[in-house]
Amino acid sequence: MLELVDVTKVVGADTHIEGVSMTLSKGSINVLLGPTLSGKTSLMRLIAGLDRPTRGDIRIDGASVVGVPVQKRNVAMVYQQFINYPTLSVYENIASPMRVKGADKATVDREVRKAAELLRLTDHLKKTPLELSGGQQQRTALARAIVKGAGLVLLDEPLANLDYKLREELRAELPKIFAATGAIFVYATTEPTEALLLGGNTATLSLGRVTQFGRTIDVFNRPVDLITAETFSDPPLNTLAVEKRGALFGHAHGLTVPVPADDLGLPDGRYTIGFRPHHLFLDAPGGAAVSLPARVAVTEITGSESFVHVDVADARWVALAHGVRNFDVDDRITVHVDPDRLFVFDAAGRLAAAPRALQAA
Amino acid sequence: MDKTWNNKAWFMVLPVLVLVAFSAVIPLMTVVNYSVQDTFGNNEFFWAGTEWFKETLTSDRFHQALWRNLMFSAIILAIEIPLGIAIALTMPKKGIGVPVCLVLMALPLLIPWNVVGTIWQVFGRVDIGLLGRSVTALGIDYNYTQDPIDAWVTVILMDVWHWTSLVVLLCYAGLVSIPDAYYQAARIDGASKWSVFRHIQLPKMQRVLLIAVLLRFMDSFMIYTEPFVVTGGGPGNSTTFLSIDLVKMAVGQFDLGPAAAMSIIYFLIILLLSWVFYTVMTQAGEERR
Amino acid sequence: MARIDLDHIAHAYRPNPTKPSDFALKEVHHTWDDGGAYALLGPSGCGKTTLLNVISGLLVPSKGRILFGGTDVTRMPTEARNIAQVFQFPVIYDTMTVYDNLAFPLRNRHVPEARVDAAVRETAEMIGLTDKLTQRARGLTADQKQKISLGRGLVRQDVNAILFDEPLTVIDPHMKWQLRSQLKLLHKRFGFTMIYVTHDQTEALTFADKVVVMYDGEVVQIGTPGELFERPRHTFVGYFIGSPGMNVLPAEVAGREARVGGHAVPLPRAYRRPAGKVELGVRPEFVRLVDGREGVPIVVTGIEDVGRYRIVRAQLGDLELNAVVKEGVAIPSAPRAVFEPAGVNIYADSHIVEPEA
């Protein structure tokens, strides 16, 4: 078990990490999710013991490890860059942490082959890293982290430098690989989808603070505030600043959206409503959905999905639709917002109401 | 990114500091010591103050040697830099020709300086030298041991032969680092050969050219071995550069005081010029960003 | 602008090619319309750069002819083809101002200065660099430099085609879609013939009207983004386009039925027994999970919840099968998988097999 208690890191006049407290249990996957410079790497360095916190405590199984240098901790790290020993074979690369420990030949061989099997490297053991594809190079680095038998494995955006198909494949395998080791995994990423695919727990980071920490899907479905919801949405959360008057949310440009039945009890006043891009519909979903006129700014097509960027009043929204939906720039279209899908945030940005559809979950 | 401050690193550079102290600082201090004293032998020294500096700075001998040095550097830069660029441009970019050219170019650089001097000393002799005999046979009155101009021509030719390769190699390194896309784009834009040189090759070579100019200037300003071997500073004093003069004064005449003062002035001139070049180079580098 | 005909073009880097594997670019025979936006899409080493070099004139193909607007240009050098090209890394003339960079191609062609000025200002307007005209080009950001590279092509209004070779490689992610949308807008407004080489499927599908998918030296499909998704003509297209990729399962096919992992799967149309390695392809979006007796039996091994949909990973016997289940649709506790006939395609040796008429 790894505990962070009010961990703070101040460098000069800048606070890099502020008051982070969380508990990571054995065998768990913990995603640190946030944009670049949100503090993911700083937090990782503190957890690894590469940096010393200015304030607060880090405990492993109840004992403080602050001040224990990284070499003396049982930690493995995998980075965005593929870091391997270029002149050693894949086999020797994977074996290197065990050789350092002085393990006997039979144990080394057994562990290396086990890790190679898990990471599908068995056919490449005799090659050197530079003969491998980027994906295989990163698999080698992962295998090395795993044979180390570390109780804590830190991964700093390990898939960021891979092509999308390789990323997709390795990402699908990671939970299986993690489950096979039983260590505590801490995984930093900028991509919400990656956090969702890995499952486990997620901590959303913004400006050096952990805004929420909990089961990944819970954080996604019930973000405590606007910042968390925005951090955990790709493409970004569609938002609109509104004024609640009775049963209507009114926007400065004359747009109105009915207040969901469950939220009628909220006091009148200023709110921000938000909804996810896949809940901005291009085809009327039926029910109480409101139709709004929109102008297409650009359409991005990933293959199985299309991102239609639209201007609605003074807001820039994204509609995420299934399949290929091709619009031209400046096309006038109608988009639909379903009040039952709305997140409502109060003037301070705290969550006032989550979509009804998710409340049961 | 926050850095971990660790003062232990200073201990790592300590050995080098000690080494530099022994090899450079202490000898330099000794020279400074000599430059403000006078001696008549027997290890007796008398305080001379700034007398030697005044004498050196006002001496015609020093002015002439300095002038010769500047002339020499200017001439060889004016020849070696354009020639080096021209040769680099004609060198092949790929294929078997590349290693062949590189080896040919590197050859003069691999020869020890005094050997270069000896080669040219013989090469230019009118009685047995290939160059001397051939030129004389053409009816040109040539003799580097008697005619100052011939001596200069010989020394300059020798330097060009010896060092143009360095400029070539540096320029070549600059040229091959230009991605193919640039040449392709220029073709698409309909650029002429001159345009390609003026707008792609020359700007991309700017950095290495500055280094080439700096190296060649420093080296030529400190030139000693080759002209000493070929002409011994003559005929007369026509090829007596600062370094040769300095050695004559210190080792030949044992005027330790004036020689020390001169070497300090010489050192300061080089320091000043290095600083000027360094500033120019870093400024050019910053402008690129 | 011009129509481009690729007339039975093939290229091998070694002399005297005999077998298909000798060719870095296998035979292409296709016409690209005047004013079309095309993307060459494929992983590295698929032959897309070879094809681009044939079009730009850096390579003379071992076989076939290439025509611009009906004129044979196969043996013409790059400079005579009247094309423009934007490279992976921005190519700008460091020492010149933005204005002089844009004017360069025209001045080289001795266009009168008055016309140069008009064209440069018009181009600067198009690429949004009017307020930077007097600046040194070297001080600009990567995306601005890339715009200059593009501008040097646009400034010659008579170019036959504009070629792009992975032009967004060095651009910051948040600038990428902005540049992409600007390109698309330029294409729509001015109707240039554009050819865009990339390994990024989003870039290709977003930019192009027609995407040319290449794999192992072969053009495996030319189609609209919709066609590539709905009816991949090669298993590679099914795998490469879409996330997760198409399920490709070994199958035996006879008439209106396929057998996959020993189970019968109905097909929408009848097939003659195809020759070669036969596979059934179905996208995860067309795999429905049902309760009851319909479909094939599967064992669910994992469910990944992406919020807007869930990816269900399952085993069909020894075969791996992915299904995508939309938000709000329940997943039965012990489901069977139904392949929706409209989304099922049959492949022989990786190429699609047409059903009997």
Q: Would you kindly state where each structural domain of chain B is located, as residue ranges?
A: 61-288
Exposure of C24 in the CB half-sphere (CA atoms within 13 A): 18
Query: Which chains contact A through at least 3 pairs of Cβ atoms less than 8 Å apart?
Result: B, C
User: What average pLDDT does the structure give for chain B?
Assistant: 81
Amino acid letter, residue C5: D
Count CB neighbours of C320 within 10 A. 12
Confidence of residue B151 (pLDDT cuts 50, 70, 90): confident
Residues of B with Cβ-Cβ distance to C88 under 8 angstroms: 181
Residue A9 with chain B: CB contacts under 8 Å: 2
Chain A CB contacts of C327 under 8 Å are 278
Closest CA to A254 of A340, A336, A312: A312
- pLDDT(A206) > 80: yes
Grade residue B286 by pLDDT with cuts at 50, 70 and 90. Answer: low
- Select from A131, A159, A141 the least CA-distant residue to A93: A141
* B61-288 under CATH 1.10.3720.10, yes or no: yes
Average pLDDT over every residue of B205-222: 85
Q: Which residue of C has its CA nearest to B288?
A: C138
Among B2, B4, B5, B8, the strongest candidate for a mutation testing the A interface, having the largest count of A CBs within 10 A, is: B2
In CATH, the architecture of C4-238 is: 3-Layer(aba) Sandwich (3.40)
Per the model's pLDDT, the better-predicted residue between B285 and C52 turns out to be C52
Task: Give the pLDDT mean for C25-31.
Answer: 91
Q: Is the pLDDT of residue C185 over 90?
A: no
C-alpha A278, offset from chain centre: 18
Write out the H or E segment, with its range, that includes residue B261: helix B256-288
Chain C interface, Cβ < 8 Å to A: 43, 177, 180-181, 184-185, 188, 199-202, 205-206, 224-226, 228-230, 239-245, 283, 285, 302, 304-308, 311, 313, 324, 326-328
What confidence tier does A358 reach under pLDDT thresholds 50, 70, 90? low
Q: Which residues of B touch C152 (CB under 8 A)?
A: 185, 189
Cβ contacts (< 8 Å) between B289 and chain C: which residues? 139
Q: Which residues of B touch C149 (CB under 8 A)?
A: 185
Does residue B244 register a pLDDT over 90? no
* Arithmetic mean of pLDDT, C21-50: 89
Given pLDDT bands bounded at 50, 70 and 90, which one contains residue C172?
Answer: confident
For residue C325, the distance in angstroms to the closest alpha carbon of chain A comes to: 12
pLDDT value at B284 more than 70: no
pLDDT at A359: 44
**For the residues C307-317, what does the mean pLDDT come to?**
91
Please enumerate in sequence order all residues whose Cβ is within 8 A of that of B214, keeping only pairs 6 or more positions apart, or say none. Answer: B274, B277, B281
- pLDDT tens sequence across C256-304: 999 998 899 999 889 988 888 999 999 999 999 999 888 899 999 988 8
Single-letter amino acid code for the residue at B148: P
Specify the fold of A235-356: OB fold (Dihydrolipoamide Acetyltransferase, E2P) (2.40.50)
Helix axes B202-221, B148-176, angle to 10 degrees: 140
User: Would an 8 Å CB–CB cutoff place C170 in contact with chain B?
Assistant: no
Nearest to C177 among A175, A221, A298 (CB): A298
* Residues B188, C89: C-beta atoms closer than 8 Å: no
> Which among B188, B200, B289 has CB closest to C84?
B188
Q: Dihedral (C-alpha) A319, A323, A329, A334: value to the nearest 10 degrees? A: -50
Cα torsion B182, B188, B192, B198: sign: negative
pLDDT at A22: 93
Closest Cα in chain C to A304: C242
CATH annotation of C245-352: 2.40.50.140
Nearest CA in chain B to C138: B288
User: In chain A, where are the structural domains located?
Assistant: 2-228, 235-356
Task: State pLDDT tens for residues C217-258.
Answer: 999 999 999 999 989 999 999 999 988 899 999 999 988 999
pLDDT reported for residue C273:
82
Q: Do A16 and B4 touch (CB under 8 A)?
A: no
CA distances C101 to A259, B54, C91, C205, Å, are 56, 56, 10, 31
Give the A:C interface size as CB pairs under 8 Å. Answer: 96
Cα–Cα distance for residue pair A209/A203, rounded to 1 Å: 10
C136-145 confidence digits (pLDDT tens):
888 888 888 9
The answer on pLDDT for C66 being more than 50 is yes
The pLDDT of B227-240, averaged and rounded, is: 75
B179 vs C contacts (CB less than 8 Å): 89, 91
Q: Is C323 helix (H, G, I), strand (E, B) or coil?
A: strand
Q: Are C123 and C155 in contact (CB under 8 A)?
A: yes
Q: Mean pLDDT throughout B254-276?
A: 82
Reported ipTM exceeds the 0.90 cut: no
Asked if the Cβ–Cβ distance from A302 to C239 is below 8 Å, we say no
Q: Would you call C87 and B189 a contact, using CB atoms and an 8 Å cutoff?
A: no
Which element (helix H / strand E) includes C229? helix C225-230
Nearest chain A Cα to B4, which residue? Answer: A51
> Mind telling me how many Å the CA of C72 is from chain A's nearest CA?
34
Q: Place C174 in a pLDDT band, splitting at 50, 70 and 90.
A: low
CB C341 within 8 A of CB C269: no
**Residue B86: band (very low, low, confident or very high) from pLDDT cuts 50, 70, 90:** very high
Higher pLDDT, residue A9 or B126: A9
From A176, A220, A303, residue closest to C241, measured CB to CB: A303
The residue of C41, C172, C181 whose CB has the most chain A CBs within 10 angstroms, and thus the best one to mutate to test that interface, is: C181
Residue B289's pLDDT band (cuts 50, 70, 90): very low
Are B49 and B131 spatial neighbours (Cβ–Cβ below 8 Å)? no
pLDDT band at A360 (very low <50, low <70, confident <90, very high): very low
Does C243 contact A322 at a Cβ distance shorter than 8 Å?
Answer: no
CB atoms < 10 A from the CB of A78, how many?
A: 22
Q: Is the pLDDT assigned to residue B5 strictly greater than 70? A: no
Q: What is the mean pLDDT of chain C?
A: 89
The nearest alpha carbon in chain B to C53 belongs to B184
Which residues in B have their CB inside 8 Å of a CB on A? Answer: 2, 4
CB contacts, 8 Å: A51 with chain B: 2, 4
Query: What integer pLDDT is reported at residue C338 of this predicted model?
Result: 94
User: Would you state the pLDDT for residue A361?
Assistant: 39
What residue in C sits closest to B204 (Cα-Cα)?
C94
**pLDDT-based confidence at residue A336 (cuts at 50, 70, 90):** very high
Q: Which residues of A touch C238 (CB under 8 A)?
A: none
Does B224 lie at the interface with C, CB-CB under 8 angstroms? Answer: no
Q: Which residue of A has its CA nearest to C209?
A: A326
Q: Which two tokens mark B83?
A: 């020639």
> Does residue A349 come out as left (phi exceeding 0), alpha (psi in the -120 to 50 range) or beta?
left
Q: Nearest-CA distance from B288 to chain A in Å? A: 28
pLDDT of residue C17 exceeding 90: no
A131: contact with C, CB 8 A cutoff: no
| Number of residues in chain A | 361
pLDDT of A275 above 90: yes
C251 within 8 A of C258, measured Cβ to Cβ = yes
Mean pLDDT of chain A: 89
Q: Nearest CB to A303: which of C180, C242, C327?
A: C242
Across residues B101-113, what is the average pLDDT? 86
Q: Measured between alpha carbons, how far is B278 from B213 in angstroms, rounded to an integer?
A: 11
- Taking residues B76-88, what's their average pLDDT? 93
Query: Closest Cα to residue A352, out of A223, A248, A237, A238?
Result: A223
**Of A217, A347, A216, whose CA–CA distance to A270 is shortest?**
A347
CB proximity list for A13: less than 8 A, separation 6 or greater: none
Write out pLDDT tens, residues A212-241: 999 999 999 999 999 999 999 888 899 999
Q: Which site among B178, B183, B184 would you substitute to test the C interface, given the most C Cβ atoms closer than 10 Å to its Cβ?
A: B184
Q: Report the alpha-carbon distance of residue B76 to residue A161 in Å, rounded.
A: 50
Find out whether C211 and C225 touch, Cβ atoms under 8 Å: yes
For B190, which of C89, C94, C109 is closest by C-beta distance?
C109
Fold of the domain built from segment(s) A2-228 = Rossmann fold (3.40.50)
Please answer yes or no on whether C205 and A324 come within 8 Å at the CB atom: yes
Is the four-CA dihedral B74, B77, B82, B87 of positive or negative sign?
positive
Decide if pLDDT at B187 tops 80.
Answer: yes
Sheet holding A14-24, edge to edge: A14-24, A2-11, A55-60, A63-64
Minimal-distance CA residue of chain C relative to B196? C93
Top pLDDT among A96 and C173 is at: A96
Kindly state the DSSP code that residue B251 receives in the 8-state scheme.
I
Mark yes or no for CB contact C95/B203 under 8 Å.
yes
Fill in the amino acid letter for B93: K
Q: What is the mean pLDDT of residues C61-66?
A: 92
Q: Check residue A270 and give its pLDDT.
A: 93
Q: Which of 172-191 (B) contact C at CB < 8 A?
A: 179, 181-182, 184-185, 187-191
* Separation between Cα atoms, residue C267 and residue C167, nearest integer Å: 42
Residue at token pair 């913004």? A206
